[in-house]
Amino acid sequence: MPIIATQGLTMRFPGVTALDALTVQVEPGVVGLVGANGAGKSTLIKILLGLLPPTGGAAAVLGLDIAGDGGRIREQVGYMPEHECLPPDMPATEFVVHMARMSGLPATAARERAADTLRHVGLYEERYRPIGGYSTGMRQRVKLAQALVHDPKLVFLDEPTNGLDPAGRDEMLALIRRIGTEFGISVLVTSHLLGELERICDHVVIIDGGRLLRSQAVASFTEASGVLVVEVDEGAEKLGVRLTQAGARVRPEGRFLLVDIAGERTFDAIRDGVAELDLCLIRMEQRRHHIEEVFAAGGPEL
Amino acid sequence: MTSTIHDIGYRHYDGQRLGRAYVLRSLFTHNLRAAYGLGRPAKAKVMPFLLFAAMLLPAVGSVAALALTKEPRALIRYSAYAVYLQPLIAIFLATQAPVVASRELRFHVVPLYFSRPVGRFDYVLAKFGALATALFILLATPVTLLYAGALATREPKKPTLGGPPPPKLPSVGQHTAHYLEGLAGCVLFALVLAALGLVIAAFTPRRGFGVAGVIAVYLVSFTVVGIVQGIAESQSRYALEGWAGAFTPFYLVDGVQVRLLGAQAATPQPPPTPYGGPVFLAICLALIVAAVGILYARFRKAGVS
């Protein structure tokens, strides 16, 4: 069963069309929703949560219709908004307990779940202090914890890496991956950065101007490209000339040589070339596509 | 056999998920606690508890005076207590209404509720009920103290030698009747004040403006009504003077207490009979209903952004 299915979903605000007849289906797993700022990502999430009624089309979340079963959908999903949404004068633990109760968890269960969830997102002793004193990274973790505390089947994470430094970004991405795999909760995560979603998602949906650009498994975006990346310590030029003479197609790229693979011979030629020129081989790997390249080459070729 | 503590990893929750009544009750308790700063840093408790204590002082003094003098007039009338202490109550409303109404707007917490199984109407109802209850606690506690003091004070068995006979204290039955009327008045005060306070605070997301807004509405309405009533009285137009009371919250509710609950007026001029009482009560109810409607619209909009 698809976790999300939309059919001609349209959202028009006065003067702006946020979603334009969007039809897409996604299966359980970690799904990335990518698009530039203003592409309609947040609007889509709000419609799926039932916060906004769409102006046209239909959608189902976890097999439930957003128009008729909004209440039942909201019992089974979690939502981490893009913007700040935390009261600064409450400790994280009180706040997350309160949010658990708002999802109907009895008091004792709410306390236990809040403690567990805060531990899972990596908040320990600081959870007893008011949120007002937290760093951006800690706030993002509290936002994530409140989305998970009632053990939803699906979480919507809107720009969870926003405002994080590179280390915090990596930790957040790893955490999201764990939610999808270890916790077994489906994730719809948005970002305007394709690169970071490629690392953690099973499937990526790209929207632009409210229209579907692509919806594809990440594996098919990033399949092997047929190009070898070769890096040697010194003498890359000599090796290049040598390989060209051996009949390989070679082009330099920075410190690397990119060699088109023409079967086993290519690998042998590189090995022999390096050995004969007495070079120090640092790396030889098959290059993978990045989804960004696909996006840049772009065009809605579905 | 060795035992090790190890991370048992993520556990799913298969327990109970309670329904609407539980969520509504939890939300009500949460807001009521917030109104008194409970579950918040000490700073948030200072104002409500200071005002709560200040509200009790006159009642304590009054009971002490009654116990010493046995003079029934030493006891402040139950129905008049809120009117006499209206500045304190207005400050409580001004500082605590924003805590309940605008804090979650200002920090954009509202979408977190509406993305859960929390009804929009329930959300507003819980807030309204919580602030009204907080006000009721503030108003009814000193009144209850007065009542307890009155019950504990009995007439002296014998008149003091040579002195005048002691004034007769009202019976327990009379006290109880007045106390219950006083409580009914407290309920109406709490509802009307909560309605006004929440609406003003909900449209002033910054807390300071919310405090200023509530105080301004209270002071301006009180002053203008005072001026109008003064002029009306000097021209002997008592009906106009009575009706003018509708435009300031404490006189409005006191009008209902006097005309419908049989209280003695604590205000310059209660509304004229026979329509004054029902009309003032209708205004109170209209205020409450309008406030809930306005709050519903306000929070519904906030739940989206």
| Residue B6 distance to chain A (closest CA, Å) | 13
Name the least confident of A54-63, A142-151, B159-168.
B159-168
pLDDT for res B165: 66
pLDDT for res A172: 95
| Residue B303 distance to chain A (closest CA, Å) | 7
CB contact under 8 A, A98 and B30: yes
Angle at A162 between CA A161 and CA A164, to 5 degrees: 70
Q: Are A243 and A250 in contact (CB under 8 A)?
A: yes
pLDDT for res B57: 97
Query: Dihedral through CA A122, CA A125, CA A129, CA A131, nearest 10?
Result: -10
Query: Dihedral through CA A79, CA A83, CA A89, CA A94, nearest 10?
Result: 10
Query: Dihedral through CA A293, CA A296, CA A300, CA A302, nearest 10?
Result: 0
Contact residues, A window 170-199, toward B, CB-based 8 Å cutoff: 182-184
Q: Are B288 and B296 in contact (CB under 8 A)?
A: no
Which stretches of chain B drop beneath a pLDDT of 70?
A: 1-8, 155-167, 305
> Which among A51, A52, A106 has CB closest to B18?
A106
Q: Are B127 and B31 in contact (CB under 8 A)?
A: yes
Each residue of B205-260: pLDDT tens digit?
888 999 999 999 999 999 999 999 999 999 999 999 999 999 999 999 999 999 99
The pair phi, psi for residue A101, each rounded to 5°, is: -65, -35
The pair phi, psi for residue B262, each rounded to 5°, is: 70, 25
pLDDT band at A299 (very low <50, low <70, confident <90, very high): very low
CB contact under 8 A, A102 and B40: no
User: pTM to 2 decimals?
Assistant: 0.85
Is the predicted pLDDT of residue A296 greater than 90, yes or no?
no
